[in-house]
Structure 1
Amino acid sequence: MAHKTTVRDVAAAAGVSPATASRALSGHPSVNPEMARRVLKASHELGYSANVFARALRTQRTDTIGMVVPSISNPYFVVAVEAVEKVLADTDRSLILCDSRDSVATESARINLLVQRMVDGLLVIPVSTEGSAAAVRTAACQLPLVQFDRFADGAGTDFVGSDDGEGIRQCIDHLRSRGCASVAYVGARPSTSTAAERLRAFLDHTADRPVPDHWVQLGDFSAEWGRRAADAMLQAGPLPDGIVCGADVIAVSLLSTLRAASVDVPGEVMVVSYDDSTLGSLTVPSLTSVRQPVASMAREAVRLLDHRARHADASIRKSVFDPQLVVRDSSGG
């Protein structure tokens, strides 16, 4: 039977003690940099691979963070995941990603799986304001957890997001500055904190000019819903001067449906949206959309995870960033 390389073999090859080799391989800061370099070089040459779970039991760390998102098919969540992964990579940590498939039950199972995998912390974008609370709250009792972008009511965790109300205000003000007297809204049902806040802000900022019921279209954050909502508005009669979409994934298919019906955007109808994803720059016309500072949000989320790991009893923190409307051709450039 072939000899299995051990940490003692690595230590002998590097000319250090097994204890020093073990500390070097776990990234312990007390190890002299030159010794650490020799240990890592010997480890690579001998093909040594540490048992991650055994090391985790010793150090109480795996250098991994779990992240659960509602749907990886949504371009905004892809951007969020990439931003978090970049922050973690800068500190030699890894990300384990799970897709909850917009299901509270699947989300709960994924969160539990990551806890069992001994991740050092969790970032969760909840599926539901109410339905996600129990799983998030339970996991937060076992390890550091930050809710990102959305929050579940009563979960009792740190939160990082952007000011959805401010983003919608910028959309309404922009459309009105371009001469839109009537404005419609196409978004998701208020079952998540972001959907609820964007709808609430839209209704608040259009209260002085009542919006007909058929101009408030609520479904889900999907391309299919954008198409169906556009069809419904086309069939209902005269279109509004402007349309605010609750997410780019909705707006992209709404734009294509309007174009297929020979509706001139922005000549007849102006369209603005939320998320400023890469999809928006590829549409014809290019999409005016609210940009969230995702990179800054990701850095703050990881910082809060690290702070919670060191100070488990610290007061709950809520970090909210200001968004910015990026004006493109769909609202007149």
Structure 2
Amino acid sequence: MPKKITLQEVARVAGVSRATVSLVVRKSPLVAAHTREKVEQVMADLDYVHDIGAARLRNNSSRTVGLIVPNLVNSFFTEFLSGVDRVMEQDDRVVLLANSHDDPARQDAILQRFRGHGVDGVILCAAEGTDPELLHKLQRWNLPIVQSLREIGKGQTDYAGADYIEGVGLAVRHLVDLGHHRIAFLSVTALTSAREERLVGFAKALKQTGAEDAGIVEAPLTWEGAAQSAARILALDSRPTAVVCFNDVLAAGLMLGLRQAGCEPGRDIDVVGLDDLPLAQLTYPPLTSVAMTPDRIGVAAAQLLSRRLNAEGAAIERAIIKPQLVLRESSGRKLG
């Protein structure tokens, strides 16, 4: 078995104290830049590996956090993970990602596994139908939690998310400015706080602008389900001239279904999504979308959890990221 390189040996080769090497390993800002670079180069040359197991014993910390998302169909969650991971890397923590498939029972099993692994805390995007009692259970486990994107038991934990109400409002006002008065909404079927807030935003924006609610159509979060929703939208008695979609996945599927029905998005009917994922630039036509910046939400959620781990009794905080409308060819034509 190869000899294990120690902090003491790194310190000897680098010509610094063991305490300095320890600060470098922990990414402390107290170390001068030139010293940090020198120590990091020595660690690379010696192939030093930080012994997390030993650190866990010393600090009673696993240096891991759990992240539970409801699905990986939507690339929103991979960008969200990127933001979480960026913060936790700075904290010298590893992120354990799990997919609940929007199933509360599966979510409970994941939390038990996380508990068995001794995670320091959890970022939870709650599965549809999650009982708010779960928050009390986590409290009894003394497991710090930050909710994100979806919320149960509002105000009981730290929370990071987007301003869905304003996001939908931006979409509706954009369409009204173009002359649209009959606007439909394409929603997911999952009954979550994210869905509720978007529908509140839709109703609020219609009231503010005087536009007509042309109908709310629901579809499962799948490409096939979104494409099939096009027929139901085109069959609405109100004959909508524009559709706001719950997210970009539904919007992309809807536009495919509209084209299959001989209806051209951006010409015969305008479509606006929410999220502004890279997908929005690849659809035909390119999709107008409201940017929700999932990586920034991930950063905010991770920062809240890091704060909670360092100050367990701190007051509950909320971080809400403001949306921004990004115009592309799926909307933009002025109606006569």
Q: Structure 1 length normalisation: TM-score?
A: 0.84
Gap change, CA 1:238 and 1:63, over 3 Å in 2: same
Distance 2:36 2:201 in 1: 54
Offset, 1:317: 1.0
Compared with structure 1, are the counterparts of its residues 5 and 90 closer, same or farther at alpha carbon in structure 2 (3 Å cutoff)? Answer: closer
Contact between 2:7 and 2:22, CA under 8 Å: does it hold in 1? no
Within 2, Cα distance between the matches of 1:197 and 1:173? 17
Partner of 1:139: 138
Deviations 1:115-148 (A, max 9, x none): 32223322111123x5153334433552332111
CA distance in 2, matches of 1:29, 1:298: 23
Task: Pick closer, same or farther for the CA change 1:28–1:247 going to 2, 3 Å.
Answer: closer
2: CA distance between counterparts of 1:39 and 1:5?
Answer: 17
8 Å contact kept, 2:68–2:98: yes
> What secondary structure is seen at the aligned counterpart in 2 of 1:211?
strand
Q: Per-residue displacement from partner, 1:289-327 (whole Å, max 9, x unpaired)?
A: 110133432332222112211221122111212111111
Residues 25, 331 of structure 1: CA spacing in aligned structure 2 closer, same or farther, 3 A cutoff? closer
- The answer as to 2:286 corresponding to 1:286 is yes
Alignment-derived partner of residue 158 in structure 1:
158
Write out aligned runs for 1:13-24 (5 A). 23=22
Tell whether the 8 Å contact from 1:10 to 1:42 is kept in structure 2 after alignment.
no
Cα 1:15–1:241, aligned 2, differ >3 Å: closer, same or farther?
closer
Q: Tell me the residue number matched to 1:172.
A: 172
Contact 1:111 1:135 in 2 (8 A): no
Cα distance, 1:45 vs. partner? 6.7
- The alpha-carbon distance between structure 1 residues 329 and 284, as it changes in their structure 2 partners (threshold 3 A), is same
Quickly say closer, same or farther: Cα 1:82–1:31, change in 2 above 3 A: closer
Name the CA distance, whole Å, in 2 between partners of 1:92 and 1:3: 25
- Aligned-residue sequence identity (percent) comes to 26
Counting matched residue pairs gives 329
| 264-273 vs 147-156, which moves further | 147-156
1:312 aligns with 2:312: yes
- Aligned-residue RMSD, C-alpha: 3.3
Which stretches in structure 2 are left out of the alignment for 5+ residues? none
Greater relative CO (CA pairs within 8 A, separation 6+): 2
TM-score w.r.t. length of structure 2: 0.83
**SS of match in other structure, 1:329:** coil
Q: Which amino acid aligns with 1:118?
A: G
Tell me the alpha carbon deviations over residues 36-83 of structure 1, each in whole angstroms, 9 at most, x when there is no partner: 889877876776656534431221233333211111221111111122
Q: For each residue in 1:189-242, what CA deviation from the matched residue of structure 2 results, as whole angstroms up to 9, or x when unmatched?
A: 361111111012212332445535xx2112333323312211222345673111
Name the SS for the 1:316 alignment partner.
coil
